[in-house]
Amino acid sequence: MKKLLAMTAVAALTLSANVFAQEGEAIYNKACQVCHSMGVAGAPKVHDTAAWEPRLAKGLDALVGSVKSGLNAMPPGGMCTDCTDEDYKNAIQFMSK
């Protein structure tokens, strides 16, 4: 019984942690598509794995940092005014695959 209760608690915590994280594709459609669909100003195109590879090599946290502070033509936060770090990670993972 204790094992079942512990497993239920872990599942609930995992689900609640992800409640506020938006889906990568939804974030892309809302805030990233304008530039990343066509590679505006050198932005890596969505699903262009070769273009994303050197960026991913820097690590996901570094990419999130670039989004938050802005990079080249991308303004700080990209075009997402309500994204969390987890949201940015989800969008990056969607675009880079």
Question: What is the pLDDT, as a whole number, of residue 49?
Answer: 98
Residue identified by tokens 């949201």 is: 87
Query: Hey, is 87 helix, strand or coil?
Result: helix
Q: Give every CB contact of residue 94 below 8 A, 6+ residues apart in sequence.
A: 23, 24, 25, 27, 28, 46
Residue 4 lies in a domain: no
The enclosing domain of 59 has a CATH number of 1.10.760.10
List pLDDT tens digits, range 10-44: 455 444 445 456 899 999 999 999 999 999 999 99
Gap between the Cα atoms of 16 and 32, Å rounded: 25
**Domain range for 76:** 21-95
Residue 1 confidence class, pLDDT cut points 50, 70, 90? low
pLDDT, one tens digit per residue, over 38-95 is 999 999 999 999 999 999 999 999 999 999 999 999 999 999 999 999 999 999 999 9
Q: In the prediction, which pLDDT does 22 show?
A: 82
Q: How many domains does the chain have?
A: 1
Residue 55 belongs to a domain: yes
Does residue 5 lie in a domain region?
no
Collapsing DSSP to helix, strand or coil, 5 comes out as helix
